[in-house]
């Protein structure tokens, strides 16, 4: 449990008139407790929840299959209620725990966008005098600003992802397959210290135009453009990095288009600072793309941390679900930003995805292992 995050949540509860927040999603459970319940995101009914009261008291709720993992990570001092997967109604056990905590008549913040409707209906029935309110936007807002511990973790993960991609490119040559790239990449991510990875993208040649495809048996050929992206994961946090390379030589227009995307990268970095408009940064990026007649995309960056995509977006809609509203860049935000063009018109796509930390007077490039001013060369 990270005390700084406990204090921030407790303060937010008081501001919103909540007596407690029940964090039920994998992301917000990990945000509060500092650890992941391994099967929570894989099996939706295996509920794990963190209950935090407005006076900063924490209690945990989890399935018997994960009880030893939760207890080991949380320590013996944190109250913990276990429910049995195949014989208990978890909502009945949760309601009983909330009554024990004196919250049967409380105003409870719930993640309405995560807890299944049937489960929520049973919880309401079990606690008819409780007042349930949506808390997901409160938690999403808190998670936008990373505490120093989160910043350090994301800095390390950014460099792991960046270096692992560089090592994978260095280990292959023309004739090797996308599967060979993936093998070197996943091994490298683990060797460099990640606990896990997400969204492995290996797209070469004509496949480099496809946004989110995994590796195939396609073999590299001279003149191919290669897009490789991976999200290195630890403690539930993830850092996404993408690097574009060419095999032996650059195809037609590749170096010119890449230089334009590099210019976009530095223009964005110049603009990212506390108080900057997310929409203005996006508009500047789109204007830069249009200089070369490259097609627009709906965003060029986004918050990142416990989710692949978090608010705010450097895009048409900076805050999801609130079109027409802008958002301001704030110190402590971590952004994934990705000047890209999937459809260059030359049979290939290009992408340069990095991680940025917003500092007091600008930003820090977290994914700083690879020099991307030039296309990476696979030789």
- Across the range 307-318, mean pLDDT stands at 96
Q: What pLDDT score does 126 carry?
A: 98
- Across the range 164-176, mean pLDDT stands at 98
Q: What pLDDT score does 358 carry?
A: 98
Q: Tell me the CA end-to-end span of the chain in Å, nearest whole number.
A: 47
Of the pLDDT bands very low, low, confident and very high (cuts 50, 70, 90), residue 65 is: very high
User: Which among 136, 101, 104 is positioned nearest to 123, based on CA atoms?
Assistant: 104
| Six token digits for residue 350 | 């290009």
Q: What pLDDT score does 2 carry?
A: 85
The Cα-based distances of 277 to 66, 148, 160, 312 in angstroms read 43, 24, 30, 10
Q: Residues near 117 by Cβ (< 8 Å), separated by ≥ 6?
A: none
| Six token digits for residue 11 | 């303060």
Read off the pLDDT of residues 228-244 as tens digits, 9 standing for 90 and up. Answer: 999 999 999 999 999 99
- Across the range 341-353, mean pLDDT stands at 96
Q: Residues near 307 by Cβ (< 8 Å), separated by ≥ 6?
A: 27
**Residue entry with tokens 């709906």:** 298
The yes-or-no verdict on residue 165 having pLDDT over 80 is yes
Q: Rounded to an integer, what distance in angstroms lies between the CA atom of residue 319 and that of residue 311?
A: 6
Q: Rounded to an integer, what distance in angstroms lies between the CA atom of residue 158 and that of residue 180?
A: 22
| Six token digits for residue 316 | 């048409």
Q: What does pTM read for this prediction?
A: 0.95
| Six token digits for residue 196 | 């896990």
- Across the range 339-351, mean pLDDT stands at 96
Angle between helices 26-33 and 3-16 (to 10 degrees): 120
152: number of CA atoms within 13 Å, CB side? 3
Interstrand relation of 340-341 and 350-351 (parallel, antiparallel or unpaired): antiparallel
User: 26 in helix, strand or coil?
Assistant: helix
**Residue entry with tokens 């296309």:** 375
Read off the pLDDT of residues 108-153 as tens digits, 9 standing for 90 and up. Answer: 999 999 999 999 999 999 999 999 999 999 999 999 999 999 999 9
Interstrand relation of 58-63 and 350-351 (parallel, antiparallel or unpaired): unpaired
Q: What pLDDT score does 290 carry?
A: 92
- Note the maximum CA span of the chain: 69
Read off the pLDDT of residues 85-108 as tens digits, 9 standing for 90 and up. Answer: 999 999 999 999 999 999 999 999
Q: What pLDDT score does 118 carry?
A: 97
Q: What pLDDT score does 208 carry?
A: 98
- Across the range 169-179, mean pLDDT stands at 98
Helices (H), 75-177: 90-100, 117-126, 136-144, 148-170
The sign one gets for the Cα dihedral 209, 165, 356, 10 is positive
- Across the range 318-341, mean pLDDT stands at 96
The yes-or-no verdict on residue 190 having pLDDT over 90 is yes
Q: What pLDDT score does 337 carry?
A: 96
The sign one gets for the Cα dihedral 317, 318, 322, 325 is negative
Of the pLDDT bands very low, low, confident and very high (cuts 50, 70, 90), residue 170 is: very high
- Across the range 54-83, mean pLDDT stands at 97
Q: Rounded to an integer, what distance in angstroms lies between the CA atom of residue 49 and that of residue 62?
A: 6
Mean pLDDT, the chain, rounded, equals 97
The yes-or-no verdict on residue 1 having pLDDT over 90 is no
């Amino acid at each position: 449990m990270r005390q700084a995050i406990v204090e921030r949540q407790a303060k937010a509860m008081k501001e919103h008139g909540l007596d407690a927040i029940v964090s039920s999603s994998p992301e917000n459970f990990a945000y509060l407790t500092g650890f992941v319940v391994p099967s929570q995101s894989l099996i939706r009914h295996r509920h794990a929840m963190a209950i935090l009261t407005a006076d900063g008291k924490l209690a945990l709720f989890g399935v018997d299959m994960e009880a030893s993992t939760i207890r080991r990570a949380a320590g013996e001092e944190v109250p913990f209620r276990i429910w049995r997967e195949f014989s208990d109604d978890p909502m009945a056990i949760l309601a009983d725990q909330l009554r024990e905590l004196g919250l049967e008549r409380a105003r409870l913040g719930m993640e309405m966008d995560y807890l299944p409707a049937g489960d929520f209906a049973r919880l309401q029935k079990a606690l008819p005098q409780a007042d349930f309110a949506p808390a997901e936007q409160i938690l999403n807002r808190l998670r936008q600003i990373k505490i120093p511990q989160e910043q350090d973790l994301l800095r390390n993960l950014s460099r792991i992802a960046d270096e692992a991609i560089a090592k994978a490119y260095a280990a292959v040559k023309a004739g090797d397959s996308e599967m060979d790239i993936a093998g070197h990449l996943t091994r490298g991510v683990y060797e460099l210290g990640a606990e896990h990875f997400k969204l492995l993208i290996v797209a070469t040649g004509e496949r480099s135009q496809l946004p989110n495809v995994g590796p195939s048996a396609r073999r590299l050929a001279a003149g191919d453009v290669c897009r490789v992206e991976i999200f290195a994961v630890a403690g539930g946090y993830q850092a996404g990095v993408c690097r574009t390379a060419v095999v032996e030589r650059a195809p037609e227009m590749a170096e010119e288009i890449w230089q334009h995307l590099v210019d976009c990268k530095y223009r964005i970095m110049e603009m990212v600072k506390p108080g900057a408009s997310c929409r203005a940064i996006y508009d500047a990026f789109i204007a830069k793309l249009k200089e070369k007649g490259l097609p627009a995309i709906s965003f060029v960056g986004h918050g990142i941390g416990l989710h692949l995509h978090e608010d705010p977006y450097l895009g048409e809609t900076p805050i999801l679900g609130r079109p027409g509203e802008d958002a301001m860049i704030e110190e402590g935000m971590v952004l994934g930003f990705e000047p890209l063009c999937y459809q260059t018109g030359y049979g290939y796509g290009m992408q340069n995805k990095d991680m940025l930390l917003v500092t007091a007077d600008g930003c820090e490039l977290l994914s700083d292992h690879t020099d991307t001013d030039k296309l990476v060369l696979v030789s």
